[in-house]
Amino acid sequence: MTFHKEGYTSLALCILFIFVLNAAIHYFDANAVIRWLGYIISFALFVIIVQFFRNPHFDIIQDDKIVLCPADGKVVVIEETTETEFLKDKRIQVSVFMSPVNVHINRNPISGVVKYFKYHPGKYLVAWHPKSSTENERTTVVTETKNGTQVLFRQIAGALARRIVWYVKEGDKVEQGDQFGFIKFGSRVDLYLPLGTKINVEIGEIVKGGRTVLAELPA
């Protein structure tokens, strides 16, 4: 377990705030109750930042026939829908909601070549809102496997999230399970899978990025 690079600025600001808060408490010679309240707030804030930007290490099993979960969280959508931005056909949508207590690293669900990438500025509706997929700040990535299967996935900012980070661009060759991005403070990832894909999870199921086998692609 290490600390993710995307958290360096947040950690520095947190430490600065803790220093100023405790310096003020001691400068004004606050009573014992105020001092202990300051210590508790300082400790809680530090723990929250460290746990949010934690970067767990684990072995990733790659398999061209499966779709790995792109993020830690809970499955909130499994439905057939029409993808209108790039694929423009019917797909199975699977959405994973990440709460502030989840690891917010995003991982490639499949190996292949990035055929399409686009960043969309937008709103900050709560991540489970039906319109968050089309109106919130988001990125769209389409990766094509060596067999020609295309999978589209989106990073979607939530009500608390104010920054989406991505590490891929069109033409990149990506490996299943590697990091492709990060979303700060509450968010969602949508996947659009080919019809005929076997979905291995259920609504409400808790899943792990890079470890849970979300689905099996059709032959």
Give the domain ranges of the chain.
2-55, 66-216
Please name which of 22, 73, 115 lies closest in space to residue 211, comparing C-alpha atoms: 73
Residue 136 is given by DSSP the state B
Catalytic residue among 42, 111, 132, 187: 187
CB 3 within 8 A of CB 50: yes
CATH code, residues 66-216: 2.70.70.10
Asked if 132 is an active-site residue, the reply is: no
> Tens of pLDDT along the chain (219 residues)?
788 888 899 899 999 999 999 998 888 877 888 889 989 999 999 998 888 888 888 899 899 999 999 999 999 999 999 999 999 999 999 999 988 788 889 999 999 999 999 999 877 666 555 665 667 788 999 999 999 999 999 998 876 656 788 999 999 999 999 999 998 766 889 999 999 999 999 999 999 999 999 999 998
To the nearest 10 degrees (0 to 180), the angle between helices 8-27 and 32-52 is 180
Residue 197 is given by DSSP the state P
Q: Give pLDDT tens digits for 45-91.
A: 999 888 888 888 889 989 999 999 999 999 999 999 999 999 999 99
Question: What is this structure's pTM?
Answer: 0.87
Nearby residues of 11 by Cβ (< 8 Å), 6 or more positions away: 3, 49, 50, 53
CB 158 within 8 A of CB 188: yes
